[in-house]
Amino acid sequence: MLDDFMVRATLAGIGVALAAAPLGCFIVWRRMAYFGDATAHAAVLGVALSLALDMSIFLGTVAVSLVMAATVTLLSQRSYAMDTLLGVMAHSALAFGLVAVSFLSGIRIDLMAYLFGDILAVSRTDLAVIWCGAALVVALTAWRWSALLTSTLNEELAYASGMDPRREQMVLTLCLAITVAVAIKVVGVLLIAAMLIIPAAAARTLSRTPEAMAMFAAAIGGLSAILGLRSAYILDTPAGPTVVCVAALCFVGLGLFSAVSEPKNRHP
């Protein structure tokens, strides 16, 4: 069954959706959209260093993403505005990554595949890495769910409950770095943030609890992967961007549905 490239692509898309769903919820709740973007852009530098050092792209991407996140956390404590700092880091990391790639002589690299994804070229090994990474992210998030949620809602309450918000931030950062590393093959660097944010934002209109929002986000992300791949196959369009387009249409559709139905609920 896994010999069919469309089956592998679909399973890869669903795996990324499962990993991105809970993280996307925290990114939306914490208003950290640009943080996800910066981490994704740093992945290009991770890819370049991995190829130069002949090491696993997954490990290189995770390492660079964690260094970038630690740098942002450190500099944010030194009176830099967070949005300015993330803007500088996001674009700088992408630029340094592209420059580093240009120095790789003797190595054939399809840069567009890393920027926009190449989900149709996912191998069995890639599929194993994606699902192992997704399982790790889901396990970490489930383990620290209560602490992450409390730290997100109120840092003072977290301290009063014996939790360290900075530690929970690092857990979230680690999960984000792993998600970026497994998603880079599927949707690419430039679209990873979209798959983190759009399904979670769409799920917000359907949810009454944080847990429900995470589950709806996973469902919307998985559905977007399935429908996006099918649409790309029929329309002969790029697979990764098409998946994101379907997710965006889900967001718009659910938003319009919520806007139309809300007055009826308010005035029965």
Q: Which of 196, 175, 185, 78 shows the shortest CA–CA distance to 128?
A: 185
What pLDDT, in 10s, does the model give residues 202-244?
998 888 899 999 999 999 999 999 999 999 989 988 888 899 9
Burial 65-79 (b: 16+ CB within 10 A, else e): bbebbeebeeeeeee
- The Cα 32–Cα 37 span in angstroms is 9
Q: Which of 192, 226, 190 shows the shortest CA–CA distance to 19?
A: 192
- The Cα 31–Cα 18 span in angstroms is 20
Q: Where are the domains of the chain?
A: 5-189
Most confident stretch, 14-28, 43-57, 99-113, 151-165:
14-28
Residues sharing a CB contact under 8 Å with residue 239, sequence separation 6 or more, in sequence order: 9, 117, 118, 119, 120, 228, 229, 232
pLDDT of 267 over the 60 cut: no
- The Cα 268–Cα 264 span in angstroms is 6
CB 220 within 8 A of CB 234: no
- The Cα 7–Cα 22 span in angstroms is 24
- The Cα 243–Cα 227 span in angstroms is 7
- The Cα 99–Cα 101 span in angstroms is 5
Instruction: Report the percent of the chain where pLDDT is more than 70.
Output: 90
Identify the pLDDT of residue 109: 64
- The Cα 16–Cα 229 span in angstroms is 14
CB 41 within 8 A of CB 177: no
pLDDT of 263 over the 90 cut: no
Mean pLDDT of 28-36: 79
Q: Which of 189, 140, 151, 193 shows the shortest CA–CA distance to 20?
A: 193
pTM > 0.75: yes or no:
yes
Is the alpha carbon torsion for 127, 129, 130, 134 positive or negative? Answer: positive
What is the architecture, at CATH level 2, of domain 5-189?
Orthogonal Bundle (1.10)
- The Cα 182–Cα 137 span in angstroms is 10
Query: Residue 12 corresponds to which amino acid?
Result: A
Query: Residue 144 corresponds to which amino acid?
Result: R
Identify the pLDDT of residue 265: 47
Tokens of 3: 């010999």
Residue 166 neighbours by CB distance under 10 Å: 11
What pLDDT, in 10s, does the model give residues 49-65?
887 788 888 888 888 88
Residue 80 neighbours by CB distance under 10 Å: 14
Q: Which of 205, 246, 191, 203 shows the shortest CA–CA distance to 223?
A: 246
